[in-house]
Amino acid sequence: MIIDCHGHYTTAPAAHSGWREAQEAAFTAGRPAPPYPGISDGDLRASVEDSQLRLMRERGVDLTVFSPRASAMGHHFGDEPVSAAWTRACNDLVARVVSLYPGHFAGVCQLPQSAGVPIARSVVELRRCVEELGFVGCNLNPDPSGGHWTSPPLTDRSWYPLYEAMVELDVPAMVHVSAVTNPSFHATGSHYLNADTTAFMQLLQADLFRDLPGLRFVIPHGGGAVPYHWGRFRGLTDMLGRPPLAEAVMPNVFFDTCVYHQPGIDLLFGVVDVDNILFGSEMVGAVRGIDPRTGHHFDDTRRYVDALGLSPADRHKVYEANARRVYPRLDTALLRRETAAA
């Protein structure tokens, strides 16, 4: 089985994104948002059949860990009720897609974060999504301000109520920012990669995993700049008097393969242990074009991983086993399905 750990519902029906625009306009005008529109199962099927599902079939991906569109989480906009309503609508829509295609998608939720609002208030939605909707993880935005970084580091104790719930529920978080309002940063070209790198450095500097050894994070986009500067981070652990990365950070942190060229994938696997790498593509996502040098889509990351010539055991880890280990609720669901099919 090939499991893609990084998929977003980027092709949601127009009525869904249209409601978000209406919600934003209503908040700006100081009036209530309109009712959420009716979206049929047919609309949902049409939104994924010729995009996500088609590409999965063409590229040989069996199952995608599927979450709301990251760039549209929009935590910087509005207030806590606005974020909560939008988050619930997004998560419910993903849950419906999963229910229509349970063999192809597993749900991951966004959280109703707002700048300045305690993260503890997001726990209710996390519990709803995991316990009622059957989701297997969550996306955690380390910068709900939208590129201004007003929140404390991820290792600050203000985050612990969410982490404690994650440990209790046995779900990981993908550390994933959303839209950016700071004009200095391009959303997917710098803001996303900056956040990946920043999150890793924050984890290096503190003892979060000593306090919460069962906590797990997936840092997407190949870990941002981390693998490329692995020697720098190893050196900083020494200069800062921190324990080695292999002991203090990497048992709890994992990178995906959303790196869109062969040399980048080669580097990732050259410096990061294979046990810490999960296959991911982020299709249909930030980079959708065809690479003129190869004639293949940039985000067809399976081609890069296949070209590594991994041993069968390592290939199994990257494509399936690591994801099932990091997402135990996904493993439970798959075991149930495998038992039923036997």
Give the active site residues. Answer: 282
DSSP state of 253: E
**Of 166, 135, 151, nearest to 75 (Cα)?**
151
Q: Is the previous residue joined to 218 through a cis bond, with omega within 30 degrees of 0?
A: no
Q: Which residues pair with 219 in a beta bridge?
A: 255
Q: State the sign of the Cα–Cα–Cα–Cα dihedral 220, 224, 228, 229.
A: negative
**Of 90, 43, 47, 39, nearest to 67 (Cα)?**
90
Cβ–Cβ < 8 Å for 222, 255? yes
Cα–Cα separations (whole angstroms), residue 9 to 54, 56, 95, 197, 342 = 14, 14, 11, 24, 32
- Where does residue 192 rank: exposed (0-12), middle (13-18), buried (19+ CB within 10 A)? buried
